[in-house]
C-alpha cells in the first residue's frame, strides 16, 4: 500500500514554495516576504522557470559571502580565534580550523620525533655488540655518546643539589648529560630491546617492580629523566597502536555482525511479504533458510556479548559498566530486530493466496475483455473481433507464465531454441543464487525469466 | 487492497494504467521532542531513531499511499517544534490541506500546546483543512499524563481525527496518515482535468491545490 521511498530528506530553513534553503530564520522570512507574499496561482506556473535561475544567483551570492567570511576569519586566525556564543548556534557558514591546528601541531611533533629518533638510534648502537665486562661497557658507551665534562657542572640539573664525595656525578648514556645518582633512571636491556624492536619478547616484570632501581650496569642503561620520558612516550604510543584491549575486538566483531545481518533481516521481511502477496519469486524454503541464518547470527551475537560479562573488572568501575552496556546493547539489538521476525507462513496458506491471486487476475482480465467487447459492440465495431481474440490469448498467457513447466513439456522438441537455452541458463542461475542465499539476485533473475518466458510464448503464438 | 497495485509485473490487456494521482500538502505541528520527525520517519522510511535530532527550520519529505485506485502523494512539511521557530510555522501551514498536531502523552504541557496549535490552524489555515491530533509515544503509556478519553473528547468536539500513536513501535502511524488520506477530497473525475494525472508523469509539480476545491 505504501510506495518504497528512498528519496532524500531535506532539512533546514526551507522555503515552503521554492524549497531553497535560506540558512537562517530571518533570511527565510525575508525571502518569503519578498518572493512569495503576493503569490498568485498565475505566478506559480511561471515560477519553476525562474526558480533555477534565481537559485544560481543565490548560490553565487552565498559563495561570495562565505569566501569573505573565510578571509576575515583567516586574518583573525593569526592572533586569536574568537567565537561568539550568542544564543544557540545557527547552521550556516562554518570554518574548518583543522589546517591551522595541524600547522601548529606538526613542528612540535617533528621536534619530538627527531629527538626521539636520535635517541633510538643511539640506543640501538649501545645495544649492538655490547661488551659484557663493565669496564669495556663504559668505554663502548663513551665511544658512542660524548659525555659532558664533569668540571663544568657544579649542581645536578634535576635536583639542584651540589655534587660532593657522596653525591657523585653520573652520565646519561643517551644524551651524555650529567645528573646525580638519585636522579638517574635505569632501563633494563630487555626493555631497551623492546623499544628498538617492538616484537622483542621478554618476561615482563610485573608493574610494581618498575620503580625498583636495578643498578647492575651490565643489564641496565642509565639515563636522565628527559631521555626516559621521550622513550616512554614513544613506547606508549606504539603499544596503544599495537595492543587493543579484548573488549574492543569483541565490540568490533559484534558491530560487523550487526551490520552484516541487517540486510538479511530486511530481505527476510521482503520474502515473507512477497509470499503473502502470492508472488512466486521466493519459496517458503528460502524464508526458512534465511531465518536459520539470522538465527545462528543471533546466537553468535548472544555468545559474544556474554563473553564481555566474563571479562575481569572491578565492581562498580566504569569498565564493568562498559561490559554490561555491551551485553545490554546486544540484547536490545536482538530483541528489536531479530526476535520479532515474522513467522514463516504455512504452505497451504500460501498456496491459497497464490491461487486466489491467479483467480483474481483472470477475473479481472475477463472483466476487461467484456468491457472492451461491450465497447466494440456499442460503437458498432463488432466486425473486428481480433481484439477480443488477443485478449483471451492474454488470459492464457498469464496462466502459462505461472505454470511454465507444464507448458514446456509440450515443446520439448524445441530444445535448440536459443530462447529455451537462455531460459534454462537463467533457471540454473536461480538455483545457484538460491543455494548461496543471494536473494536479491533471485528477484531480478526471476523477473528476467518471466520476460524470457513471455517472449517465448509470444513467439509460439505467432507461429 | 494493495494486492494488485504492483502494476509492473502484471500486464493488462489494454495497456492502460488506472491510477490517478492526488497530491496533498501536509504539515506537522507540535511542541519540540513530542516525536513529529519520528512519526514522519516511521511513515516515510519505516525507521526509528532513539536519538532523533531536534529539527532545525523544517524538513521536507514525500510519501505516496494507495487508496483503491488512487495514489495519494503526501508532501510533508515537518516543522521544528522549538519555540524560537514558531514564527516560521504559518509559512508551512499556509495552503496545507492537512495537518497533524502532535503531543506526547507523557506531557500535559505538550497537550495544551497542541490545543493552541489547533486553534491557530482553525483561525489561520485553509478553511477546509483536515486536522488530525496524534497522542504520540503510546508505547510509554505507563508514564501517561494525558488521558485518552480527555483527548478523544477534545478531538470530537473540534472535529479532529484522533489516534494515539507510537513512532517507536509503529502503532497507528500508517493508520493516521491513511485516515487523513481517506478524509481528503479526491473529486474523482469531477475536478479540473489537470488534477488527475496518469502515474509516471509527475514532472509538473504543483505545490498546492490538487484535488481540493
Ligand atoms: N518511546 C518513544 N520515543 C519516541 C517516540 N517518538 C519519538 N520518540 C523520541 O522522542 C525524541 C524526540 O523525537 P523527535 O521526533 O525528534 O521530536 P520532534 O517533535 O521532531 O522535535 P523537534 O524537531 O525539536 O520539534 C527522540 O529521542 C525520539 O527517539 C515514540 O513513539 N516512543
Ligand atoms: Mg523534529
Ligand atoms: Zn521561495
Ligand atoms: Zn639529582
Ligand atoms: Zn639524557
pLDDT in tens, B98-139: 999 999 999 999 999 999 999 999 999 988 999 999 999 999
Instruction: Give mean pLDDT, residues A103-132.
Output: 83
Distance from A12 to chain B by nearest Cα, in Å? 5
CB B123 within 8 A of CB B91: no
**CB-based contact B206 A44, cutoff 8 Å:** yes
- Give the C-alpha distances (Å, rounded to integers) separating B62 from A38, A346, A372, B78, B97: 26, 36, 37, 11, 14
Strands A220-223 and A185-188: antiparallel
Phi, psi of A91 (to 5 degrees): -75, 140
Pairwise CA distance, residues A320 & A311, whole Å:
8
% of chain A exceeding 70 in pLDDT: 74
Minimal-distance CA residue of chain B relative to A49: B204
The yes-or-no verdict on residue A304 having pLDDT over 90 is yes
Residue with cell 504455512: A346
Residue of B2, B6, B10, B14 to mutate for A, most A C-beta atoms under 10 A: B14
**Interface contact B14-A17, CB threshold 8 A:** no
Query: Which residue's alpha carbon is at the smallest distance from atom 6 of ligand 1?
Result: B35
Would you state the pLDDT for residue A207?
A: 47
Pick the residue with more confidence: A90 or A199?
Answer: A199
**Res B201: pLDDT:** 38
Contacts B1 to A, Cβ<8 Å: 1
Task: Please tell me the distance from the alpha carbon of residue B62 to that of residue A319, in angstroms, as a whole number.
Answer: 45
- As a whole number of Å, the CA-based R_g of chain B is 18
- Residue A360 with chain B: CB contacts under 8 Å: 3-4
Do the beta carbons of residue A20 and residue A56 sit within 8 Å? no
Residues A25, B57: C-beta atoms closer than 8 Å: yes
Q: Contact at 8 Å (CB) between B110 and B43?
A: no
Residues 6+ apart with CB under 8 A from A184: A170, A172, A213, A222, A223, A224
B139: which residues sit within 8 A by CB, 6+ positions away?
A: B166, B168, B169, B171
How far, in Å, from the CA of B155 to the mean position of ligand 1? 22
Residue B211 in this model has a pLDDT that exceeds 60: no
Q: What is the ipTM of this complex?
A: 0.76
Whole-number pLDDT of residue A211: 47
Q: Is the pLDDT at A323 greater than 50, yes or no?
A: yes
Give the number of other CB atoms < 10 A from CB of residue B140.
13
C-alpha A6 to ligand 1 mean position (Å):
21
For the residues of B30-82, what is the DSSP string, one character each?
Answer: ESTTSSHHHHHHHHHHS---TTPPPPSBEEEEEEEEEETTEEEEEEEEEE--S
Average confidence score pLDDT of chain A: 77
pTM of the model: 0.40
Give the pLDDT band of residue B57 (cuts 50, 70, 90).
confident
3-state secondary structure of A84: coil
User: At B204, is the secondary structure helix, strand, or coil?
Assistant: coil
Amino acid at each position: 500500500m505504501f510506495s518504497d521511498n528512498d528519496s532524500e530528506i531535506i532539512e533546514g530553513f526551507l522555503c515552503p514554495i521554492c524549497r531553497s534553503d535560506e540558512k537562517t530564520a530571518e533570511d527565510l522570512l525575508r525571502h518569503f516576504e519578498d518572493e512569495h507574499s503576493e503569490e498568485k496561482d498565475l505566478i506559480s506556473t511561471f515560477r519553476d522557470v525562474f526558480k533555477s535561475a534565481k537559485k544560481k544567483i543565490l548560490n553565487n551570492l552565498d559563495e561570495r559571502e562565505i569566501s569573505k567570511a573565510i578571509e576575515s576569519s583567516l586574518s583573525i586566525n593569526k592572533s586569536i580565534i574568537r567565537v561568539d556564543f550568542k544564543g544557540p548556534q545557527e547552521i550556516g557558514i562554518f570554518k574548518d580550523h583543522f589546517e591551522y591546528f595541524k600547522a601548529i601541531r606538526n613542528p612540535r611533533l617533528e621536534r619530538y620525533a627527531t629527538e626521539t629518533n636520535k635517541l633510538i638510534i643511539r640506543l640501538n648502537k649501545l645495544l649492538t655488540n655490547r661488551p659484557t665486562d663493565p669496564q669495556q661497557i663504559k668505554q663502548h658507551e663513551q665511544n658512542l655518546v660524548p659525555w659532558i665534562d664533569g668540571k663544568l657542572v657544579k649542581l645536578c640539573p634535576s635536583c639542584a643539589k651540589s655534587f660532593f664525595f657522596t653525591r657523585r656525578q653520573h652520565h646519561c648514556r643517551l644524551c651524555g648529560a650529567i645528573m646525580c645518582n638519585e636522579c638517574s633512571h635505569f632501563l633494563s636491556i630487555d626493555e631497551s630491546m623492546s623499544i628498538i624492536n617492538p616484537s622483542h619478547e621478554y618476561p615482563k616484570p610485573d608493574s610494581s617492580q618498575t620503580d625498583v632501581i636495578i643498578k647492575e650496569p651490565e643489564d641496565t642503561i642509565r639515563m636522565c629523566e628527559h631521555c626516559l620520558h621521550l622513550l616512554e612516550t614513544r613506547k606508549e604510543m606504539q603499544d596503544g597502536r599495537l595492543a587493543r584491549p579484548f573488549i574492543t575486538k569483541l565490540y568490533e566483531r559484534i558491530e560487523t555482525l550487526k551490520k552484516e545481518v541487517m540486510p538479511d533481516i530486511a530481505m527476510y521481511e521482503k520474502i515473507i511479504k512477497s509470499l503473502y502477496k502470492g508472488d512466486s519469486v521466493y519459496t517458503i524454503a528460502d524464508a526458512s533458510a534465511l531465518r536459520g541464518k539470522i538465527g545462528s547470527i543471533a546466537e553468535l551475537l548472544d555468545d559474544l556479548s556474554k563473553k564481555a560479562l566474563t571479562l575481569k573488572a572491578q565492581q562498580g568501575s566504569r569498565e564493568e559498566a562498559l561490559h554490561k552496556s555491551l551485553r545490554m546493547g546486544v540484547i536490545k539489538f536482538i530483541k528489536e530486530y531479530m526476535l520479532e521476525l515474522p513467522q514463516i507462513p504455512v504452505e497451504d496458506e500460501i498456496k491459497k493466496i497464490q491461487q486466489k491471486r491467479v483467480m483474481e487476475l483472470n477475473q479481472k482480465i475477463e472483466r476487461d475483455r467484456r468491457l472492451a467487447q461491450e465497447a466494440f459492440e456499442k460503437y458498432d465495431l463488432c466486425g473486428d473481433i481480433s481484439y477480443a481474440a488477443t485478449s483471451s490469448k492474454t488470459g492464457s498467457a498469464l496462466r502459462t507464465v505461472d505454470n511454465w513447466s507444464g507448458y514446456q513439456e509440450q515443446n520439448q522438441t524445441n530444445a535448440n531454441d536459443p530462447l529455451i537455452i537462455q531460459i534454462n541458463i537463467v533457471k540454473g542461475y536461480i538455483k545457484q543464487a538460491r543455494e548461496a542465499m543471494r536473494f536479491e539476485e533471485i528477484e531480478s533473475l526471476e523477473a528476467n525469466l518471466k520476460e524470457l518466458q513471455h517472449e517465448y510464448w509470444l513467439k509460439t503464438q505467432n507461429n | 487492497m494493495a494486492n494488485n497495485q504492483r502494476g509492473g509485473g502484471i500486464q493488462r490487456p489494454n495497456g492502460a494504467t488506472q491510477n490517478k494521482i492526488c497530491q496533498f500538502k501536509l504539515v506537522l505541528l507540535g511542541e519540540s521532542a513530542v516525536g513529529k520527525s519520528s512519526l514522519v520517519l516511521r511513515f516515510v522510511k519505516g525507521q526509528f531513531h532513539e536519538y532523533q535530532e531536534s529539527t532545525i527550520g523544517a524538513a521536507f519529505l514525500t510519501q505516496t499511499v494507495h487508496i483503491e485506485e488512487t495514489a495519494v502523494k503526501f508532501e510533508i512539511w515537518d516543522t521544528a517544534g522549538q519555540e524560537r521557530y514558531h514564527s516560521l510555522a504559518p509559512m508551512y501551514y499556509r495552503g496545507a490541506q492537512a495537518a497533524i498536531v502532535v503531543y506526547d502523552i507523557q506531557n500535559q504541557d505538550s497537550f495544551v500546546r497542541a490545543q493552541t496549535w489547533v486553534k491557530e490552524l482553525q483561525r489561520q489555515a485553509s478553511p477546509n483543512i483536515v486536522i488530525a491530533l496524534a497522542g504520540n509515544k503510546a508505547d510509554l503509556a505507563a508514564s501517561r499524563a494525558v488521558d485518552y478519553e480527555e483527548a478523544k473528547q477534545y478531538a470530537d468536539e473540534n472535529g479532529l481525527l484522533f489516534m494515539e500513536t507510537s513512532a517507536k513501535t509503529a502503532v497507528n502511524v500508517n493508520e493516521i496518515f491513511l485516515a487523513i488520506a481517506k478524509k481528503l477530497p479526491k473529486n474523482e473525475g469531477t475536478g479540473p482535468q489537470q488534477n488527475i494525472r496518469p502515474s509516471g508523469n509527475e514532472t509538473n509539480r504543483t505545490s498546492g491545490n490538487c484535488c481540493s476545491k
